[in-house]
Protein backbone atom coordinates (compact mmCIF):
# COMPACT_ATOMS: atom_id res chain seq x y z
CA UNK A 1 0.00 0.00 0.00
CA UNK A 2 1.55 3.27 -1.09
CA UNK A 3 0.58 5.97 1.38
CA UNK A 4 2.98 8.74 0.38
CA UNK A 5 3.80 10.24 -2.99
CA UNK A 6 5.35 13.37 -4.43
CA UNK A 7 3.90 15.00 -7.48
CA UNK A 8 4.65 18.09 -9.52
CA UNK A 9 1.64 20.11 -10.61
CA UNK A 10 1.74 22.82 -13.21
CA UNK A 11 -1.19 25.01 -14.10
CA UNK A 12 -1.70 26.22 -17.65
CA UNK A 13 -0.01 29.32 -19.01
CA UNK A 14 -2.19 32.29 -19.87
CA UNK A 15 -2.61 32.96 -23.56
CA UNK A 16 -0.90 35.98 -25.12
CA UNK A 17 -2.94 38.98 -26.04
CA UNK A 18 -3.14 39.67 -29.74
CA UNK A 19 -1.65 42.63 -31.59
CA UNK A 20 -3.86 43.17 -34.58
CA UNK A 21 -5.53 45.90 -36.63
CA UNK A 22 -8.83 45.79 -38.35
CA UNK A 23 -8.69 45.12 -42.07
CA UNK A 24 -11.74 45.83 -44.05
CA UNK A 25 -12.36 46.61 -47.65
CA UNK A 26 -12.31 50.33 -48.31
CA UNK A 27 -11.14 51.08 -44.75
CA UNK A 28 -7.47 51.92 -45.20
CA UNK A 29 -6.49 52.17 -41.55
CA UNK A 30 -8.61 50.12 -39.18
CA UNK A 31 -8.30 50.51 -35.43
CA UNK A 32 -6.72 47.96 -33.10
CA UNK A 33 -8.73 44.75 -32.68
CA UNK A 34 -6.38 42.29 -30.94
CA UNK A 35 -8.33 40.17 -28.45
CA UNK A 36 -7.23 39.04 -24.99
CA UNK A 37 -5.47 35.79 -24.22
CA UNK A 38 -7.38 33.43 -21.91
CA UNK A 39 -6.30 32.23 -18.49
CA UNK A 40 -4.59 28.85 -18.22
CA UNK A 41 -6.35 25.93 -16.51
CA UNK A 42 -5.97 25.24 -12.78
CA UNK A 43 -4.79 21.94 -11.36
CA UNK A 44 -7.41 20.66 -8.92
CA UNK A 45 -7.22 17.60 -6.68
CA UNK A 46 -10.49 15.75 -6.17
CA UNK A 47 -11.17 13.12 -3.51
CA UNK A 48 -12.71 9.86 -4.68
CA UNK A 49 -13.65 6.58 -3.08
CA UNK A 50 -12.62 4.70 -6.25
CA UNK A 51 -8.98 4.84 -5.21
CA UNK A 52 -7.67 3.26 -2.05
CA UNK A 53 -4.03 4.16 -2.06
CA UNK A 54 -1.56 6.37 -3.90
CA UNK A 55 -0.02 3.65 -6.06
CA UNK A 56 -1.07 5.28 -9.33
CA UNK A 57 1.34 8.12 -8.45
CA UNK A 58 4.23 5.68 -8.30
CA UNK A 59 5.13 6.19 -11.94
CA UNK A 60 3.26 9.34 -12.79
CA UNK A 61 4.55 12.46 -11.09
CA UNK A 62 3.84 15.30 -13.48
CA UNK A 63 0.43 16.85 -13.96
CA UNK A 64 -0.11 19.75 -16.26
CA UNK A 65 -3.28 21.67 -17.01
CA UNK A 66 -4.07 23.14 -20.42
CA UNK A 67 -2.72 26.53 -21.50
CA UNK A 68 -5.11 29.36 -22.21
CA UNK A 69 -5.76 30.17 -25.86
CA UNK A 70 -4.08 33.16 -27.53
CA UNK A 71 -6.13 36.21 -28.34
CA UNK A 72 -6.80 36.79 -32.03
CA UNK A 73 -7.75 39.58 -34.38
CA UNK A 74 -11.32 40.82 -34.70
CA UNK A 75 -11.43 41.09 -30.90
CA UNK A 76 -11.47 37.33 -30.48
CA UNK A 77 -10.60 36.13 -27.00
CA UNK A 78 -8.75 32.84 -26.66
CA UNK A 79 -10.42 29.75 -25.16
CA UNK A 80 -9.94 29.20 -21.42
CA UNK A 81 -7.44 26.49 -20.54
CA UNK A 82 -9.26 23.43 -19.19
CA UNK A 83 -8.70 22.65 -15.55
CA UNK A 84 -6.96 19.38 -14.82
CA UNK A 85 -8.66 17.16 -12.26
CA UNK A 86 -6.34 14.80 -10.42
CA UNK A 87 -8.13 12.11 -8.45
CA UNK A 88 -6.81 11.17 -5.03
CA UNK A 89 -8.26 8.76 -2.49
CA UNK A 90 -10.49 10.09 0.28
CA UNK A 91 -8.25 10.68 3.28
CA UNK A 92 -5.41 12.35 1.37
CA UNK A 93 -3.57 15.15 3.08
CA UNK A 94 -1.75 17.60 0.81
CA UNK A 95 1.56 19.09 1.93
CA UNK A 96 3.72 21.79 0.41
CA UNK A 97 7.52 21.62 0.02
CA UNK A 98 8.11 22.88 3.54
CA UNK A 99 5.76 20.25 4.94
CA UNK A 100 3.01 22.79 5.52
CA UNK A 101 -0.52 21.42 5.20
CA UNK A 102 -2.27 22.88 2.15
CA UNK A 103 -5.43 20.90 2.57
CA UNK A 104 -7.10 17.75 3.67
CA UNK A 105 -9.42 15.86 1.34
CA UNK A 106 -11.80 13.97 3.56
CA UNK A 107 -15.15 13.97 1.75
CA UNK A 108 -15.80 12.27 -1.59
CA UNK A 109 -15.95 14.93 -4.27
CA UNK A 110 -14.06 17.48 -2.18
CA UNK A 111 -11.80 19.68 -4.33
CA UNK A 112 -8.59 21.52 -3.65
CA UNK A 113 -7.10 23.89 -6.19
CA UNK A 114 -3.33 23.40 -5.86
CA UNK A 115 -2.01 25.45 -8.80
CA UNK A 116 -3.69 28.43 -10.38
CA UNK A 117 -3.59 29.02 -14.09
CA UNK A 118 -1.69 32.08 -15.35
CA UNK A 119 -3.59 35.19 -16.33
CA UNK A 120 -4.06 35.86 -20.00
CA UNK A 121 -2.40 38.91 -21.59
CA UNK A 122 -4.52 41.79 -22.82
CA UNK A 123 -4.86 42.41 -26.53
CA UNK A 124 -3.75 45.70 -28.10
CA UNK A 125 -7.33 46.96 -28.20
CA UNK A 126 -7.02 47.49 -24.42
CA UNK A 127 -4.19 49.96 -24.81
CA UNK A 128 -5.97 52.32 -27.12
CA UNK A 129 -6.36 55.81 -25.72
CA UNK A 130 -6.88 59.30 -27.03
CA UNK A 131 -3.13 59.78 -27.37
CA UNK A 132 -2.39 56.25 -28.49
CA UNK A 133 -4.71 55.47 -31.38
CA UNK A 134 -2.75 52.53 -32.71
CA UNK A 135 -1.01 50.60 -29.91
CA UNK A 136 1.49 48.28 -31.54
CA UNK A 137 1.88 45.96 -28.59
CA UNK A 138 -0.07 43.45 -26.52
CA UNK A 139 0.62 41.69 -23.26
CA UNK A 140 1.99 38.20 -22.88
CA UNK A 141 0.18 35.59 -20.80
CA UNK A 142 1.63 34.65 -17.42
CA UNK A 143 3.04 31.25 -16.50
CA UNK A 144 0.77 29.05 -14.43
CA UNK A 145 1.80 28.14 -10.90
CA UNK A 146 4.08 25.15 -10.67
CA UNK A 147 4.96 23.35 -7.46
CA UNK A 148 5.84 20.06 -5.86
CA UNK A 149 3.36 18.53 -3.46
CA UNK A 150 3.51 15.61 -1.12
CA UNK A 151 0.38 13.52 -0.84
CA UNK A 152 -0.02 11.59 2.36
CA UNK A 153 -2.83 9.10 2.75
CA UNK A 154 -4.28 8.52 6.15
CA UNK A 155 -6.88 5.83 6.42
CA UNK A 156 -10.21 7.07 7.54
CA UNK A 157 -11.03 4.34 10.03
CA UNK A 158 -13.34 4.92 12.96
CA UNK A 159 -11.72 2.48 15.32
CA UNK A 160 -8.00 1.77 15.60
CA UNK A 161 -6.69 -1.50 17.04
CA UNK A 162 -3.52 -0.94 19.03
CA UNK A 163 -1.39 -3.30 21.06
CA UNK A 164 1.91 -5.10 21.28
CA UNK A 165 2.76 -7.57 18.52
CA UNK A 166 1.01 -10.94 18.85
CA UNK A 167 -1.71 -9.65 21.21
CA UNK A 168 -4.39 -10.86 18.81
CA UNK A 169 -5.38 -7.63 17.06
CA UNK A 170 -5.79 -9.24 13.66
CA UNK A 171 -7.65 -12.15 15.25
CA UNK A 172 -10.09 -9.67 16.78
CA UNK A 173 -10.54 -7.90 13.47
CA UNK A 174 -11.35 -11.26 11.88
CA UNK A 175 -13.76 -12.17 14.71
CA UNK A 176 -15.59 -8.84 14.61
CA UNK A 177 -15.76 -8.28 10.85
CA UNK A 178 -15.62 -10.19 7.58
CA UNK A 179 -12.00 -9.27 7.03
CA UNK A 180 -9.49 -12.08 6.60
CA UNK A 181 -6.20 -10.69 7.83
CA UNK A 182 -3.13 -12.87 8.17
CA UNK A 183 -2.87 -14.31 11.68
CA UNK A 184 0.12 -16.19 13.06
CA UNK A 185 1.89 -17.01 16.30
CA UNK A 186 4.79 -14.65 15.80
CA UNK A 187 5.22 -10.91 16.21
CA UNK A 188 4.83 -8.56 13.23
CA UNK A 189 2.54 -10.84 11.31
CA UNK A 190 0.70 -7.76 10.17
CA UNK A 191 2.92 -5.57 8.03
CA UNK A 192 0.31 -3.45 6.31
CA UNK A 193 -2.91 -2.05 7.78
CA UNK A 194 -6.07 -4.17 7.38
CA UNK A 195 -9.55 -2.74 7.38
CA UNK A 196 -12.89 -4.33 8.27
CA UNK A 197 -16.44 -3.12 8.73
CA UNK A 198 -18.19 -3.83 12.01
CA UNK A 199 -21.95 -3.60 12.59
CA UNK A 200 -22.76 -1.56 15.67
CA UNK A 201 -26.49 -1.59 16.31
CA UNK A 202 -27.87 0.76 13.66
CA UNK A 203 -24.58 2.00 12.29
CA UNK A 204 -21.37 0.59 10.91
CA UNK A 205 -17.78 1.51 11.68
CA UNK A 206 -14.49 0.82 9.95
CA UNK A 207 -11.85 -0.87 12.10
CA UNK A 208 -8.17 -0.56 11.22
CA UNK A 209 -5.73 -3.22 12.34
CA UNK A 210 -2.18 -1.90 12.22
CA UNK A 211 1.16 -3.62 12.89
CA UNK A 212 2.03 -4.17 16.55
CA UNK A 213 3.65 -1.34 18.47
CA UNK A 214 6.84 -1.82 20.45
CA UNK A 215 8.86 0.51 22.58
CA UNK A 216 10.43 3.12 20.33
CA UNK A 217 7.72 2.75 17.66
CA UNK A 218 7.12 6.49 17.70
CA UNK A 219 10.78 6.97 16.73
CA UNK A 220 10.58 4.35 14.04
CA UNK A 221 11.33 1.05 15.84
CA UNK A 222 9.52 -1.98 14.46
CA UNK A 223 6.89 -1.12 11.88
CA UNK A 224 4.74 1.08 14.02
CA UNK A 225 5.75 4.61 13.16
CA UNK A 226 4.62 4.68 9.57
CA UNK A 227 1.27 3.34 10.57
CA UNK A 228 0.61 5.47 13.60
CA UNK A 229 -0.53 8.16 11.18
CA UNK A 230 -3.36 5.88 10.10
CA UNK A 231 -4.91 5.81 13.53
CA UNK A 232 -4.50 9.53 14.01
CA UNK A 233 -7.97 10.22 12.66
CA UNK A 234 -9.84 7.39 14.32
CA UNK A 235 -12.60 8.35 16.71
CA UNK A 236 -11.87 5.49 19.10
CA UNK A 237 -8.89 3.36 20.05
CA UNK A 238 -9.29 -0.29 20.95
CA UNK A 239 -6.36 -1.41 23.08
CA UNK A 240 -5.65 -5.14 22.94
CA UNK A 241 -3.71 -6.93 25.68
CA UNK A 242 -2.49 -10.52 25.47
CA UNK A 243 -4.31 -12.54 28.13
CA UNK A 244 -1.86 -15.40 27.71
CA UNK A 245 1.00 -13.26 29.01
CA UNK A 246 -0.51 -13.17 32.50
CA UNK A 247 -1.69 -10.39 34.78
CA UNK A 248 1.77 -9.07 35.62
CA UNK A 249 2.44 -8.24 31.96
CA UNK A 250 -0.71 -6.19 31.28
CA UNK A 251 0.12 -2.90 33.02
CA UNK A 252 3.52 -2.74 31.34
CA UNK A 253 2.09 -3.68 27.93
CA UNK A 254 -0.55 -0.99 28.22
CA UNK A 255 2.08 1.46 29.43
CA UNK A 256 4.35 0.77 26.46
CA UNK A 257 1.58 1.18 23.91
CA UNK A 258 0.25 4.37 25.50
CA UNK A 259 3.77 5.71 25.85
CA UNK A 260 4.34 5.31 22.10
CA UNK A 261 0.97 6.78 21.17
CA UNK A 262 1.60 9.74 23.46
CA UNK A 263 5.09 10.30 22.04
CA UNK A 264 3.65 10.31 18.53
CA UNK A 265 0.69 12.62 19.30
CA UNK A 266 -0.18 13.52 22.87
CA UNK A 267 -3.82 13.97 21.98
CA UNK A 268 -4.11 10.24 21.14
CA UNK A 269 -4.03 9.60 24.88
CA UNK A 270 -7.22 11.62 25.29
CA UNK A 271 -9.02 9.72 22.59
CA UNK A 272 -12.07 7.71 23.66
CA UNK A 273 -10.93 4.15 24.27
CA UNK A 274 -11.96 0.59 25.00
CA UNK A 275 -9.47 -1.85 26.54
CA UNK A 276 -9.70 -5.60 26.09
CA UNK A 277 -7.77 -8.46 27.59
CA UNK A 278 -7.84 -11.02 24.78
CA UNK A 279 -7.25 -14.81 24.81
CA UNK A 280 -9.62 -15.32 27.76
CA UNK A 281 -9.74 -18.97 26.73
CA UNK A 282 -6.15 -19.38 27.92
CA UNK A 283 -7.04 -18.19 31.44
CA UNK A 284 -8.23 -20.38 34.30
CA UNK A 285 -10.82 -19.14 36.81
CA UNK A 286 -8.21 -17.33 38.89
CA UNK A 287 -6.78 -15.69 35.76
CA UNK A 288 -10.21 -14.52 34.67
CA UNK A 289 -10.79 -13.02 38.07
CA UNK A 290 -7.45 -11.21 37.89
CA UNK A 291 -8.36 -9.90 34.46
CA UNK A 292 -11.72 -8.67 35.77
CA UNK A 293 -10.04 -6.88 38.68
CA UNK A 294 -7.38 -5.37 36.40
CA UNK A 295 -9.93 -4.04 33.92
CA UNK A 296 -12.23 -2.73 36.65
CA UNK A 297 -9.32 -0.93 38.28
CA UNK A 298 -8.18 0.87 35.13
CA UNK A 299 -10.51 3.81 35.55
CA UNK A 300 -9.68 5.84 32.43
CA UNK A 301 -11.15 3.98 29.47
CA UNK A 302 -14.81 4.29 28.76
CA UNK A 303 -15.13 0.50 28.81
CA UNK A 304 -12.98 -2.56 29.50
CA UNK A 305 -13.88 -6.13 28.51
CA UNK A 306 -12.39 -9.62 28.77
CA UNK A 307 -12.73 -11.41 25.41
CA UNK A 308 -11.54 -14.33 23.36
CA UNK A 309 -11.12 -13.88 19.64
CA UNK A 310 -10.70 -17.65 19.45
CA UNK A 311 -14.01 -18.80 20.95
CA UNK A 312 -15.99 -15.57 20.77
CA UNK A 313 -16.44 -15.14 24.52
CA UNK A 314 -17.17 -11.55 25.52
CA UNK A 315 -17.49 -10.34 21.94
CA UNK A 316 -21.17 -9.29 22.23
CA UNK A 317 -20.24 -7.22 25.28
CA UNK A 318 -17.35 -5.69 23.34
CA UNK A 319 -19.62 -4.80 20.41
CA UNK A 320 -22.11 -3.16 22.80
CA UNK A 321 -19.32 -1.18 24.45
CA UNK A 322 -17.94 -0.08 21.05
CA UNK A 323 -21.42 0.99 19.98
CA UNK A 324 -21.88 3.17 23.01
CA UNK A 325 -18.43 4.73 23.06
CA UNK A 326 -18.50 5.23 19.30
CA UNK A 327 -21.72 7.25 19.52
CA UNK A 328 -20.12 9.57 22.08
CA UNK A 329 -16.89 9.77 20.12
CA UNK A 330 -18.68 10.65 16.89
CA UNK A 331 -20.60 13.38 18.64
CA UNK A 332 -17.31 14.78 19.96
CA UNK A 333 -15.72 14.54 16.48
CA UNK A 334 -18.65 16.36 14.85
CA UNK A 335 -18.43 19.10 17.45
CA UNK A 336 -14.69 19.49 16.82
CA UNK A 337 -15.24 19.59 13.05
CA UNK A 338 -17.92 22.25 13.46
CA UNK A 339 -15.53 24.29 15.57
CA UNK A 340 -12.77 24.00 12.97
CA UNK A 341 -15.17 24.98 10.22
CA UNK A 342 -16.25 28.03 12.22
CA UNK A 343 -12.69 29.32 12.41
CA UNK A 344 -11.65 31.70 9.68
CA UNK A 345 -10.25 29.94 6.61
CA UNK A 346 -6.48 30.03 6.22
CA UNK A 347 -5.34 32.46 3.55
CA UNK A 348 -2.59 30.85 1.53
CA UNK A 349 -2.12 33.56 -1.04
CA UNK A 350 -1.25 37.18 -0.46
CA UNK A 351 -4.09 39.52 -1.26
CA UNK A 352 -3.71 41.47 -4.47
CA UNK A 353 -1.61 44.54 -3.93
CA UNK A 354 -1.48 47.88 -5.61
CA UNK A 355 1.05 48.81 -8.26
CA UNK A 356 2.52 51.36 -5.84
CA UNK A 357 3.34 48.65 -3.29
CA UNK A 358 6.89 47.48 -3.93
CA UNK A 359 10.36 47.39 -2.40
CA UNK A 360 13.72 48.21 -3.96
CA UNK A 361 16.90 46.57 -2.70
CA UNK A 362 20.45 47.00 -3.86
CA UNK A 363 22.35 43.77 -4.49
CA UNK A 364 25.96 44.13 -5.63
CA UNK A 365 25.76 46.23 -8.78
CA UNK A 366 22.09 45.83 -9.57
CA UNK A 367 18.70 46.71 -8.06
CA UNK A 368 16.01 44.20 -7.24
CA UNK A 369 12.37 45.27 -7.20
CA UNK A 370 9.70 43.21 -5.45
CA UNK A 371 6.02 43.98 -5.87
CA UNK A 372 3.20 41.64 -6.78
CA UNK A 373 1.55 43.86 -9.38
CA UNK A 374 4.77 45.30 -10.78
CA UNK A 375 6.22 41.84 -11.29
CA UNK A 376 3.04 40.78 -13.01
CA UNK A 377 3.14 43.81 -15.27
CA UNK A 378 6.75 43.13 -16.26
CA UNK A 379 6.11 39.44 -16.81
CA UNK A 380 3.39 40.36 -19.28
CA UNK A 381 5.43 42.97 -21.10
CA UNK A 382 7.35 42.34 -24.28
CA UNK A 383 10.49 44.34 -23.52
CA UNK A 384 11.73 44.01 -27.10
CA UNK A 385 8.78 46.04 -28.27
CA UNK A 386 9.44 49.77 -28.14
CA UNK A 387 5.78 50.68 -27.72
CA UNK A 388 5.30 48.18 -24.91
CA UNK A 389 8.33 49.64 -23.15
CA UNK A 390 7.01 53.17 -23.56
CA UNK A 391 3.68 52.12 -22.05
CA UNK A 392 5.46 50.36 -19.18
CA UNK A 393 7.66 53.41 -18.57
CA UNK A 394 4.60 55.55 -18.13
CA UNK A 395 3.06 53.17 -15.62
CA UNK A 396 6.20 52.75 -13.52
CA UNK A 397 6.79 56.47 -13.50
CA UNK A 398 3.28 56.94 -12.16
CA UNK A 399 3.77 54.17 -9.59
CA UNK A 400 6.90 55.98 -8.33
CA UNK A 401 9.38 53.26 -9.25
CA UNK A 402 11.82 55.63 -10.97
CA UNK A 403 11.91 57.93 -7.93
CA UNK A 404 12.40 54.98 -5.61
CA UNK A 405 15.28 53.70 -7.76
CA UNK A 406 16.95 57.12 -7.75
CA UNK A 407 16.58 57.31 -3.98
CA UNK A 408 18.16 53.85 -3.70
CA UNK A 409 21.16 55.24 -5.62
CA UNK A 410 20.48 53.93 -9.11
CA UNK A 411 22.27 55.75 -11.94
CA UNK A 412 21.43 55.68 -15.65
CA UNK A 413 22.74 52.44 -17.11
CA UNK A 414 22.34 50.39 -13.90
CA UNK A 415 20.54 47.06 -14.16
CA UNK A 416 17.14 46.71 -12.54
CA UNK A 417 15.59 43.28 -11.99
CA UNK A 418 11.81 42.84 -11.67
CA UNK A 419 10.75 39.23 -11.32
CA UNK A 420 12.41 37.43 -14.24
CA UNK A 421 12.80 40.54 -16.38
CA UNK A 422 15.70 43.00 -16.44
CA UNK A 423 16.01 46.47 -17.81
CA UNK A 424 18.51 49.28 -17.88
CA UNK A 425 17.68 52.26 -15.69
CA UNK A 426 17.29 55.35 -17.86
Q: Which is nearer to ligand GTP, 118 or 196 (CB)?
A: 196
8 Å CB contact between 185 and 166 = yes
Give the nearest distance from C-beta 169 to ligand GTP in angstroms: 4
| Closest listed residue to residue 182, CA positions, set 191, 148, 78 | 191
Q: By rule CB under 5 A, what count of residues binds Mg ion?
A: 4
Site membership for ligand GTP, residue 188 (CB under 6 A) = yes
How is 295-318 classified by DSSP, letter by letter?
Answer: HHHH-SSSEEEE--TTT-TTHHHH
Among 16, 152, 177, 190, binds ligand GTP (CB under 6 A): 190
In the complex, least distance from residue 156 CB atom to ligand GTP, rounded to whole angstroms = 21
Q: Is 16 in the site for ligand GTP (CB under 6 A)?
A: no
Cβ 311 to ligand GTP shortest distance, Å: 7
Q: What part of residues 127-186 is at the interface with Mg ion (CB under 5 A)?
A: 169-170
CB 15 within 8 A of CB 37: yes
Question: Which ranges in 28-99 belong to alpha helices (H)?
Answer: none
Q: Residues 190 to 219: which contact Mg ion by CB under 5 A?
A: 190
Closest approach of Cβ 307 to ligand GTP, in Å?
7
Nearer to ligand GTP by Cβ, of 66 and 308: the residue is 308
Query: Which residue in 66, 124, 166, 234 binds ligand GTP (CB under 6 A)?
Result: 166
**If contact means CB under 5 to 8 A according to the sort of partner, which of Mg ion, ligand GTP, none does residue 166 touch?**
ligand GTP
Q: Residue 309 to residues 2, 276, 291, 324, 395: CA-CA distances in angstroms?
A: 30, 11, 16, 20, 77
Distance between CA atoms of 190 and 168, rounded to whole angstroms? 11
> Taking CB under 6 A as the criterion, which residues in 274-333 touch ligand GTP?
278-279, 281-282, 308-310
From residue 23, alpha-carbon distances to 74, 131, 133, 372 in Å are 9, 21, 15, 37
C-beta of 92: minimal distance to ligand GTP in Å? 26
Least Cβ distance, residue 223 to ligand GTP (angstroms): 9
* CA angle centred on 335, ends 333 and 340, rounded to 5°: 95
Cα 371 from Cα 376, distance rounded (Å): 8
Give the one entry of Mg ion, ligand GTP, none that residue 188 binds, where binding means its C-beta sits below a cut-off of 5 to 8 angstroms depending on kind: ligand GTP
Looking at beta carbons only, is 189 or 373 nearer to Mg ion?
189
DSSP one-letter string for 383-423 = TT-HHHHHHHHHHHHHHTHHHHHHHTT--TT-EEEETTEEE
Binding interface with ligand GTP (CB under 6 A): 163, 165-171, 183-185, 187-190, 211-212, 278-279, 281-282, 308-310
Amino acid sequence: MLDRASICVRAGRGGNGSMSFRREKYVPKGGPDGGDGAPGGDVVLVATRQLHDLSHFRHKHHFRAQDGGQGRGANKRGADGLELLVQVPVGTEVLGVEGEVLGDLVHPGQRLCVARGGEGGRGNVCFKSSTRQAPKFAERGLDGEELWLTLSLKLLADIGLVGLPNAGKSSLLAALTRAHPKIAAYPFTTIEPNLGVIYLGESTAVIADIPGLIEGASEGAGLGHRFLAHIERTALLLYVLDGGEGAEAWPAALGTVRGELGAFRAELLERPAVVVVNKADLLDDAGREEAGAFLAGLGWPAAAVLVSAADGAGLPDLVAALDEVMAQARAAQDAAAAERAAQAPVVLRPADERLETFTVAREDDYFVVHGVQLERLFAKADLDNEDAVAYLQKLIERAGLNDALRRAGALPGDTVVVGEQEFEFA
